[in-house]
Structure 1
């Protein structure tokens, strides 16, 4: 495939700057000579690019004054009542509850949802956000990809703000950006899990957490705070960290020796979520370790299958549907011109089942 001409390359660069809000409506383009020097091209090339922008009604040239960015008119009137929703997974067990809450709140107000899925991939997230920016929906709800890692798409979120498209985040936040967040109170959930295990007599408590997820970091922080406050036995070696891409390899049979070594001496484990708890169920069964007789497990999220496994999984129930509903309500509050809402954290609760054993404390004989 042949390389685009220099005028087409410049046209694409300038168009992207307009769409992403780097060049705002009403702003003046630099003189031709400055664009020539910046991009190392001729005046004729600059003029050809400007002509294409004019044809798309992105800019106008005023004789004797210069070239200006035009206010972009919404070509799709339906989008005035459309909310873009960007979620990480469509097959995750949390997804139906989250989307159900969003849909309920939007439908009650006469809005419709346009759904995009990123599969927790930052490159795909960028594509989805750029597409939404071009469509100009009434607002955007986003569950950020890789929410605990460096924000690769920070510039995109800044562009969304420049375009004045209302935005609310779910279960993740970008430091330094004034974008409201609605989330599970994951730090408090981690605390509750650790407190429950301590109340059951456990003192050496391990953790299995997702490192590239905001919730994983917060749940770990809450868990460690409680252990530190109590003075319970714990070292960093009793924590297993994993990333999104590692799940199959990390919890396959070949990794059993590593995980068993990490949890050596532990009587209980706090898991990032119920799916990971079930991975550990399989691992311990393969290695002749009984739950809860030999080791206790507590999960997060209250997945329905937790009631079907044996023993039934003790977990932290999270109001996922309420997160979706509240996030949509906060976004519509901004869309309608009301005061921007504060961050909102929703608390979970311990659901006691059969996977945690009461551990008698050692006594002197």
Structure 2
């Protein structure tokens, strides 16, 4: 005789909220009872209540507002045709990290009989808009998105709100847009910044420069981690030793000006923290062209542990990027949302340093 499985406890709350909406006891804009009130009413833990409301948030039915509570965002679930296609949107698809991240995503999607619809934004907001519009029109069962210029105001916020309203499951990778409550999988960029400073402090570096990306939130977080740890170690952060750059600064027609800014800001420093391995190799090449060497004249540390880390004359000390694992976890979480299972809203990979020869003891 088959044993009938009991209904998960959180579904009692999910179904009750849906019933309240169906009976118009709750409508768009209404505030839901607090976690504590629902916990008492259903004799369930607050964690179970949170699990239920998170599922309805992912479905676009509820909306959590910081410091205010949880509100009804939609009173209907849009019935979409099943396509067995997943939209995957990344900023680039070069031989840096992206092929391995995509490989991790593809393995999970293939194992679940889904096909991948891949698109590249080249970190341009207009491209992201066109891609999202096309995917919404064509139809996908879910999205995995690397945000475009996540360090700037999100000009495509309305499209993502539309994705919420249409109950299209969506998971971000590498970063997330502020103000949008989608799950995301990323490196712990703040912790990476802290760890970089700690390592340099162990090597007795106290005049530390930094090169960070202004238009991606990873740059802000890595800078914040570095700045906070320098302050903790009672080392003054020299603002004239920090270089902020954007995607456009790497264009060939303006890169010379960018390099001159770097040389000026590195003057007098014993070490530099680079936004990623691509920037680190540019710095090492720039130093070589100016008759300076790594690590004798300047120590260099960066992030990602890409294939570039061993291409230069000096092996690069860098924090590793989870690559395939990050893609796999993002895709697995998307599958959980599609199958109405609970997934972690935030997954952050802790920093892991790969020591090579680009940092010396002072």
Query: What is the TM-score of this pair, normalised by structure 2?
Result: 0.75
Instruction: State how far apart, in whole Å, the 2-side matches of 1:203 and 1:249 are.
Output: 33
C-alpha deviations, 1:334-363, integer Å up to 9, x for none? 10011253211112311111110101xxxx
Task: Please name the residue that 1:170 is paired with.
Answer: 173
Task: Please name the residue that 1:25 is paired with.
Answer: none
Trace 1:83-162 onto structure 2 (pairs within 5 A).
Answer: 83-162=86-165
Displacement, 1:251? 7.8
More divergent stretch after superposition (107-116 vs 328-337)? 107-116
Within the candidate set 330, 339, 353, 1:336 is matched to 339
Instruction: State how far apart, in whole Å, the 1-side matches of 2:139 and 2:209 are.
Output: 46
Displacement, 1:72? 7.0
More divergent stretch after superposition (185-194 vs 241-250)? 241-250
Q: Which runs of 5+ in 1 are unaligned?
A: 1-68, 360-365
Trace 1:174-323 onto structure 2 (pairs within 5 A).
Answer: 174-248=177-251, 252-323=255-326
Instruction: State how far apart, in whole Å, the 2-side matches of 1:308 and 1:277 are.
Output: 11
C-alpha deviations, 1:271-299, integer Å up to 9, x for none? 00001001101111111112111110011
CA contact (8 A) 2:88 2:144 kept: yes
C-alpha deviations, 1:230-279, integer Å up to 9, x for none? 01242111101110011145984455443222122210000000010011
Q: 1:353 and 2:350 equivalent?
A: no
CA contact (8 A) 1:251 1:283 kept: no
C-alpha deviations, 1:287-346, integer Å up to 9, x for none? 111211111001110121221311111111111211111111111101001125321111
Task: Please name the residue that 2:58 is paired with.
Answer: none
Query: What is the TM-score of this pair, normalised by structure 1?
Result: 0.75
CA contact (8 A) 1:242 1:250 kept: no
SS state at 2:119 partner: strand
RMSD of aligned residue pairs (Cα, Å): 2.0
Instruction: State how far apart, in whole Å, the 2-side matches of 1:73 and 1:258 are.
Output: 51
SS state at 1:227 partner: helix
SS state at 1:178 partner: coil
SS state at 1:172 partner: coil
C-alpha deviations, 1:5-49, integer Å up to 9, x for none? xxxxxxxxxxxxxxxxxxxxxxxxxxxxxxxxxxxxxxxxxxxxx
Task: State the aligned residue count.
Answer: 287
Instruction: State how far apart, in whole Å, the 1-side matches of 2:282 and 2:88 are.
Output: 30
